[in-house]
Structure 1
């Protein structure tokens, strides 16, 4: 019966500590960068918090992959696990493509920031044109309010697909219906 000592795994423990330290540093740095960007572009704190969560999730995935490599998991085992997880996620994501598309669009809207809350926009959709004021911008959708007081929840991915005109900053009676 073999007794395992810490000395046998010194390199792995040191490398694991290094990976975890890098993870903490990158988490802190990316959060600071996104918050600084959000303040400079006057973005809502809730939107920047969502982007930070997405980036942190990506960093966690990278850290887990790095730890797997550090601890010497066999390549064939990694490939088998990765292909199984990818297959499972592929089936789930195809079923949830709209959600993934809206999350990605939300991140793009955060960084490109073409409009802000309070702007009156016109969405150029031949079947259902909309002119409304932006009340809220969330991770999956934008909340719009028409001149008649109707509230419309519009998916982020459609905002990137349709032409949009920014009519005014603020809700004015002169905007086009």
Structure 2
């Protein structure tokens, strides 16, 4: 069979597949548009949110349709690798943001609930059973700084310091020895009352 006939068959097959992809994308887009409009008309969805969803629907369907068409045409052989890499990057961004937000939220909860304060001695029970802890000397949005007791042979001039992520205080069993009075309303960063 001549090469041009093979090329024409391949082109016809790609053209047919492309037409089917465009038709399916069009139908999915219409169905989603009707669903969003129905939700908006039934007042289950605000007009602003419906407009945002319509824009998102349109852009997402166009993007995925273009990827599929490029894959069919052989222009972009690794379209799905590109898409999965992009989704992985977004997922990693969410994980990083979750970690930061988790520690910041935990810091705010520690300041409000006061399970411990500056000057208190805390111990976090590790799942292995070994406690880790020390005296609370500082706190920021990410970490609480604990000064460890001076071990035998250590220099008392340079105490060991442990920076513990704030969310650990809500994920592990916490034991606190406080020099503050039990009913004290003193601020978190205040000195223990005498």
State the TM-score, normalizing by the size of structure 2: 0.41
Higher helix share: 1
Q: Looking at CA atoms only, which structure, 1 or 2, has the larger radius of gyration?
A: 2
